[in-house]
A = this chain, B = another copy of it.
Amino acid sequence: MTAASATPAADALEARFRRLSAIEGALGVLSWDRLVMMPPGGGDARAEQSATLGVLAHEILTAPEVGDLLEAAAAEPLAGWRAANLREMKRRHAHATALSSALVDAMARASAKSETAWRAARAESSFAGVRGPLGEVLRLTREAASAKAEVLGLEPYAALLDQYEPGGSVARIEGLFAELEAALPPILEAVLERQARAGDPEMPTGPFPVPAQRGLARDIMATLGFDFTHGRLDETLHPFCGGVPDDVRVTTRFSESGFVSGVMGVIHETGHALYERGLPAEWRGLPVGEARGMVLHESQSLLMEMQACRSPEFLAHLSGMARAAFGGDGSAWDPSNLRRIYTHVERGFIRVEADEVTYPLHVILRTRLERALLAGDLAVGDLPGAWNAGMRDLLGVTPPDDTRGCLQDIHWYDGAVGYFPTYTLGALAAAQLFAAATAADPAIVEAIGRGDFTRLLAWLRPNVHGKASSATTDEILTAATGAPLGAGAFLAHLKRRYLDG
């Protein structure tokens, strides 16, 4: 006979959350299939399947006994990862129970309607058609933010941010963004001057057949450490990384007109995939074993895309791989030219096409606007004007239309407010982590130049991936880099890459 457990409530909660995790894993596969494999006529049946599993997951998480168990578990002798796991279970339970079913329903419905209106509005470049639906989404988001704020003891915007970046601090974001807003414009100015003097890089000429691009993409993924026995690469209109840690599904898009942006897209998603794959197997199915939040997640994609793979060392290696894949010949394929292509900077309109120097300015604008929209300081109807004024102010350009302005991102129209800051916080974290990794093991960069990412991964696994949700983002960063999240490493990186030498 087994001795009675000293932690019966935590045991019961862990079993329940493993069940929840399996349902969420199934939802992940269904979602991947919908985007990658499903024929169009399967949409209604799939929506029914996903909605049913979503309701079951919600019921498991919010059943009355969960609150009692969480209370009982707080008195049990839990230490280490189990204590951290209890904290994460509490957090998930608090988010799930903060909103009434009626509000969750209304938000899902309003977001679906607004997303549809957004697609039409974007196609016609006319904000007017989505103004009403977006207003409704924002009204409900405000209601949800207040409800969560009360439960979590946070201000409303922080309560939304917490959904994507647990423990994320609005004051910290304000400080970091102020620092970036002051530092970036002069850097940008200097980079553009220098770039103008150097003239445009040459573009490699094709053909770039898709099968060759696919082969190159798989080779690069394997080089970075992606394990194809635990994952796949497929093609979709909008690249993403989905699946579960033992079965990571990366997607990308190939354009026959060139390999330049496709390659970096694959590298970006592979960074996400390596994080998921590196989560500790012994915590599978438990909240403590999940990725920490969107800041560290984005740090892992940007560490690969911006820090490691736009380095001169890796671009020299990539030059050889790309030449071999496409039979490329001539100076356009030279490492020095690839370097100019991959570090090209521009005052553009579109966030997702932005370089690493201007990207934070796009994010600062969106964060400013979404906080004003949430607080009611900015009326929905004034969004296009405020957007364009902000672009002039921060980037010095005026979008020619709303499609290239306030209609470019799906986030708000889909009900995601509080997500945008994580892109730039992730970029800062990526620079800080890469600096710490290469300081700890100076041979990492040279190894990357040989296509050997094992040294880099050997540092990331224990310092980032393996921590999963056992500590906060700042605890993980402090342990790994000696300091909480800051802008210093990022700004130093920009100056070194774009202005020195």
Contacts and interface: CB of A to CB of B under 8 A. Distances in A.
B49 A230 contact: no
For A25, A33, A40, A45, which residue has the most chain B Cβ atoms within 10 angstroms?
A45
A29 B28 CA distance: 12
B285 A39 contact: no
Contact of A230 (B42, B245, B285): B42
A49 to B, nearest CB: 4
A48 B285 contact: yes
Contact of A45 (B23, B50, B244): B244
B30 A45 contact: no
Contact of A39 (B53, B229, B284): B229
Contacts of A245: 45
A227 interface: yes
Contacts of A33: 29, 33
B285 A38 contact: no
Interface in A270-287: 284-285
A284 B47 CA distance: 14
Nearest to A285: B48
A313 interface: no
A53 to B, nearest CB: 6
Interface residues of chain A: helix, strand, loop or mixed (majority): helix
Interface string A176-207: 00000000000000000000000000000000
Contacts of A228: 39
A22 B52 contact: yes
A39 to B, nearest CB: 5
B244 A23 contact: no
A282 to B, nearest CB: 13
A383 interface: no
Interface in A13-33: 18-19, 22-23, 25-26, 29-30, 33
A334 interface: no
A23 B52 contact: yes
A246 B29 contact: no
Interface residues of A, number: 38
A231 B19 contact: no
A44 interface: yes
Contacts of A232: 37, 39
Contact of A246 (B42, B230, B246, B285): B42
A455 interface: no
A247 interface: yes
Contact of A247 (B22, B42, B50, B244): B42
B22 A230 contact: no
A247 B50 CA distance: 15
A227 B53 contact: no
A56 interface: yes
For A37, A42, A231, which residue has the most chain B Cβ atoms within 10 angstroms?
A42
Interface string A223-265: 0000111111000000000011111000000000000000000
Contacts of A19: 52
A46 interface: yes
A41 interface: yes
Nearest to A27: B26
Contact of A48 (B22, B227, B231): B22
A50 B227 CA distance: 23
B49 A29 contact: yes
Given A44-B246, A246-B42, A247-B42, A49 B37 contact: no
Contacts of A231: 39, 41
Contacts of A40: 229
A199 to B, nearest CB: 45
A251 to B, nearest CB: 12
Contact of A41 (B22, B42, B52, B227): B227
A284 B41 CA distance: 14
Contact of A53 (B18, B23, B285): B23
Interface string A447-466: 00000000000000000000
Contacts of A26: 26, 30, 49-50, 52-53
A46 B33 CA distance: 14
Nearest to A42: B247
Contacts of A51: 22
8 nearest interchain CB pairs?
A: A42-B247, A41-B230, A22-B52, A26-B49, A41-B229, A45-B246, A22-B49, A22-B48
Given A29-B33, A41-B247, 6 more contacts: A19-B52, A22-B49, A39-B247, A41-B227, A41-B229, A42-B230
12 contacts: A22-B52, A23-B56, A26-B26, A26-B30, A26-B49, A26-B50, A29-B30, A40-B229, A41-B246, A44-B246, A46-B247, A53-B53
